[in-house]
Structure 1
Amino acid sequence: MKIDRHDRNSDNDIVKLCFTWRSLCLAVAFSLAVLSTNRGFSNENIVNDPKAVALVQQVIDRLANGDSFDCKVRQRVRAAGHEVPGVGTYLQVGGGTGQFSFQISMYDGDDEHRLQQMSDGRLAWTRSEIAGNVSLSRVDVGWLDEGARTLHRNERVKPSMRVGGPSEMLDNLVRDYDLKLGTSSLGGRPLLVVIGTLKQSRRDEITATLGGNPWPVLMPTRVNVAIAANDDPETGFGKGLPVRIEHLSDPVAVVTDSDKKSETQMKKRQMISLLEFYSIRPVKPPPIEQVRFEYQDIEVDFVNETSRYEDRFNIRVSAKERQRYR
């Protein structure tokens, strides 16, 4: 078995980013149905709403430190001109453990695509299988927590709780998007809606890396997250949890036939991916075996991405301290 390590000096982060989004869109792109009016691109100079940022941070804290729950997952992805459905499950242990399990399968004709993310609080694994091709990656999240402690950080949401699953998606949202707050409802249930628009600085970074190539069609520039404002009346549970997440494209130019004359106009943003969390219910914290990844792909090399997350969380410690953890 071979372990490949993330190259800190790699200039191919955009390739990884595009692959990540493609994997998400083909396997598990977190998304949410449009709950607010799609606005044109003239509205991009957005200043972060502190209330929206605070709400997302509260949701991350709720996932990390709240009660255990599980739910079912339903997804629709629009790619290559057609819609790909998917189903899966999500278990969040909470309680400060950093443990979770997220898996989804999508069906595209005769092909089945799978994404599995699991963490036992020490190691977080991602396994993706797209048309029979398997890839594996691992993050030593236990070390990230230890590194943070070595630096005397006393954070309520530890680094291990921000790696993988919906928690990382929401963490990315705060980092890369300007956020606004709105409200909506679904089936009579009130929702808080966080509307994220890709930061211009982030857009510029990605554009510069594309080398003149067009913007990737599966790279979202708008993300909407719907959060339950109240508990589900049937279960008495669920307040503060995400129920729908949506990724949207830039507004696209389309040709319409009006009075037998073709004219080009700007259309609303197009949905890339819609993810729904439903049948959310409280559960007892499961045995650790339920969130521990079983390494069965002996012939598949995996990439250790811990260094990338060290950079992300600004964990800088000496080699001696790192060796002590091992």
Structure 2
Amino acid sequence: MTKPNPARINFTTLFAVLALAAVAVYCLPIALSQAPSESGPTSKSPTEPAESGVSSSNATKAWQTLNGAIRQLVDTGPAFEAKLRQVTRVDGQEVRAVGRYIQSSGLRGLMRMELQSPIGNQTSRFEQTCDGRLTWTREQVGEEVRIRRVDVGRLDEIAFTSGVSARFKVGGLPELLDSIAWDYDLQLVRGVLKETQNVWIIRGTLKESRLQSLLDENEQTIVPPELPTKVRVALAADGPFRLIPVRMEFSSEPPEGGSGPARLISELDIYEIKAIDPPKEELFRYSTTEDDAHFTNETQIYLDRFQTRMATLPGFSGMRR
């Protein structure tokens, strides 16, 4: 087992499980068929944003809506499965991937995500599973394999004052949404998905403080072209899968000195979502092999990350004793 390497997380923490920067360069990613159109907030909304009564500010509503989406995914919403499509554009190349996603509910902590894509004459595979105790991430391109593990049970060492426990925010869509909530300045708007589905659209711009810390961690002074400084998330606004994400877009800034719109570097569709019976834990267990013995334990990285985040909230009491 290898020791955790903070640099390994670097830019990939922004998009968590999808690893759109580091992994997409040599691995994963989604094709989109629908682009959300936007309109400003109106009084006639299909469904009020989750937990929107705390503040009238748009940024606060956006934050609360994302956290409401996380709660829907891991607790109050139905167990579901969905198909995934992704396309990522890096260095003039386009990589497409398809896969599936399964999420339990009722705070069981069960999640499974799979993506695979042809890369030249090879196939890249991305697998992430959580059985409520351990989250495993396996990335493979050809014969090269990288495996990471997080003991999510240990995240209960952090005393939370509110919200969903950190143990449910490691892996899959919950981690991706949580990273967006913390790393981006957010705005909430109304929109439709090709005039067929009401959605809440959350737009985000990477926080200056987060951008600078990423550059410092990686000893860089220039923003790399694969770093997503803009994000747009479409959440279902009504229906049985309310607040479940249905589309995500990640964009980077135009080339240095250039003008024009942000460059779309990755798109993700979550579609054909359907409710399922509560899945059995066996579906989410990761079966290690002899080749998987050398993995990176990233538990401490996540402990440090959530400790730092929660320390910014009023009333935070630190680690449990």
TM range (shorter): 0.7 to 0.9
Query: Which deviations, in whole Å up to 9, do the C-alpha atoms of 1:29-64 show, x marking residues without a partner?
Result: 899975358xxxxxxxxx971111111010011011
Report the count of equivalent residues.
Answer: 286
The 5 A counterparts of 1:1-326 are 3-6=1-4, 14=10, 20=19, 21-24=21-24, 26-28=27-29, 35=36, 49-65=59-75, 66-145=77-156, 147-148=157-158, 151=159, 153=160, 155-187=162-194, 188-212=196-220, 214-231=222-239, 237-252=240-255, 266-298=259-291, 300-314=293-307, 316-317=319-320
Deviation at 1:132, TM superposition (A): 2.5
Structure 1: stretches of 5+ with no match in the other structure:
38-46, 232-236, 254-263, 319-326
* Contact preservation (8 Å) 2:231, 2:250: yes
Q: How far off its partner does 1:133 sit?
A: 0.8
1-side partners of 2:7 and 2:264: how far apart?
Answer: 29
Answer with 76-85 or 64-73: which moved more: 76-85
1:67 to partner: Cα distance? 1.5
In the TM superposition, what is the alpha-carbon distance from 1:109 to its structure 2 partner?
2.6
Which one-letter code corresponds to 1:291 in the other structure?
A: F
CA contact (8 A) 1:30 1:246 kept: no
Distance between the aligned counterparts of 2:80 and 2:37, measured in 1?
A: 28
1:31 touches 1:273 (CA, 8 Å); kept in 2?
no
Higher mean Cα deviation, 201-210 or 171-180? 201-210
Q: Tell me whether 180-189 or 168-177 shows the greater mean CA deviation.
A: 180-189
1:14: how far off? 3.5
What percentage of residue pairs aligned between the two structures are identical? Answer: 31
Contact 1:32 1:224 in 2 (8 A): no
CA offsets per residue over residues 89-139 of structure 1, 9 Å max, x none?
000011101110001001223121111110000011000012331011111
- 2:44 maps to none
Question: Per-residue deviation at 1:154?
Answer: 6.3
SS in 2 for 1:185: strand
Match for 1:23: what amino acid? V
**What is the CA distance between 1:143 and its match in structure 2?**
2.2
Contact 2:117 2:124 in 1 (8 A): yes
- In the alignment, structure 2 segments of 5+ residues that lack a partner are 39-56, 308-317
Provide the rounded CA distance (Å) in 1 between the counterparts of 2:209 and 2:37: 25
Cα shift at 1:87: 0.4
For the pair shown, the structure with the greater C-alpha radius of gyration is 1
Shift of 1:164: 0.7
Note the alpha carbon deviations across 1:118-176, whole angstroms, 9 max, x for none.
0000011000012331011111112222x24xx4x465512211001111111111111
Contact 1:124 1:139 in 2 (8 A): yes
DSSP 3-state at the match of 1:298: helix
The 8 Å contact of residues 202 and 233 in structure 2, kept in 1 or not, is answered as: yes
Give the secondary structure class of the aligned counterpart of 2:254.
strand
- The question of whether the paired residues in 1 share the 8 Å contact of 2:31 and 2:85 is answered with no
Relative to its length, the structure with more strand (as a share) is 1
TM-aligned CA distance change 1:288 to 1:154, over 3 Å: farther
